Structure 1
């Protein structure tokens, strides 16, 4: 079976199990300015462990579902490998506000929020401010739209 077909089956199975599209095919993940690198090359573990947006080191990478992620330290890479779902940007790294409105837009790794242990990226700092006015409501709307907005 081709890679795309296998990843599609994985994403479909995850949705069927009630994970609201937690597993998204690699070709449906926003990778930012660096082709094939998730979260624009930023360390997705550092958002929670350091409470900061920290660019990852190209020499310290891990792959998950066909997408490479970079980390500031081997310790962060190992934490990601142990539990990638804990650290992956929600909605495939697309802007959480856009998904709540029924479309996709790029996620900026500098415009981020961690809520209830989940990483959300937004298009810009100003969009993040707008999204933050009703995080719970916007998450509920985005969850209802995800992953159908990818079609």
Structure 2
């Protein structure tokens, strides 16, 4: 095994992390700039469900308006928003691991190692049931390329 082979997954991770962490825009939003079609991003972690939020509990972050189902979830998000932001600007994680940039369906998701990944379809989500770290590395590598051309 060469050093290049061993470092490649780590380098892909760093590229993806850098591009996600320093993006100032969230892309999966409606024409009215509502993130995730109004789904409460905190509920993916708390209840493990896609739950619609309400306009009365909203926060503007990353050039998008985020809705929450409760005042408590709004407060939790405001305390640490990066913890709850979906990876890859809200694009389909499976599409990215396959080399395609596709807007995700916020009702189809996985939380893996404390990070939220969205998918376009149930089939895409199923593809990420096994070998998740390899899928993540591929998606992060491709996101590094795609994200630099989005702004």
| 2:120 equivalent to 1:123 | yes
C-alpha contact (below 8 Å) 1:39/1:89 kept by paired residues: no
C-alpha contact (below 8 Å) 1:34/1:41 kept by paired residues: no
C-alpha contact (below 8 Å) 2:20/2:87 kept by paired residues: no
Which of the numbers 83, 92, 95 marks the counterpart of 1:86? 83
CA root-mean-square deviation? 1.9
Per the TM alignment, residue 25 of structure 1 is displaced from its structure 2 partner at its CA by 3.2
When the two structures are superposed, what TM-score results if normalisation uses the length of structure 1? Answer: 0.80
Per the TM alignment, residue 86 of structure 1 is displaced from its structure 2 partner at its CA by 0.3
Consecutive unaligned residues of structure 2, counting only runs of 5 or more, are 1-13
| Structure with max Cα Rg | 2
- Asked which structure has the greater RCO (Cα within 8 Å, sep 6+), the reply is 2
Q: Which digits, 9 at most, give the CA deviation of each residue in 1:74-93, with x for residues without a partner? A: 11011111101100011000
Consecutive unaligned residues of structure 1, counting only runs of 5 or more, are 1-14
Aligned to 1:41: 38
- Count of residue pairs brought into register by the alignment: 134
C-alpha contact (below 8 Å) 2:99/2:142 kept by paired residues: yes
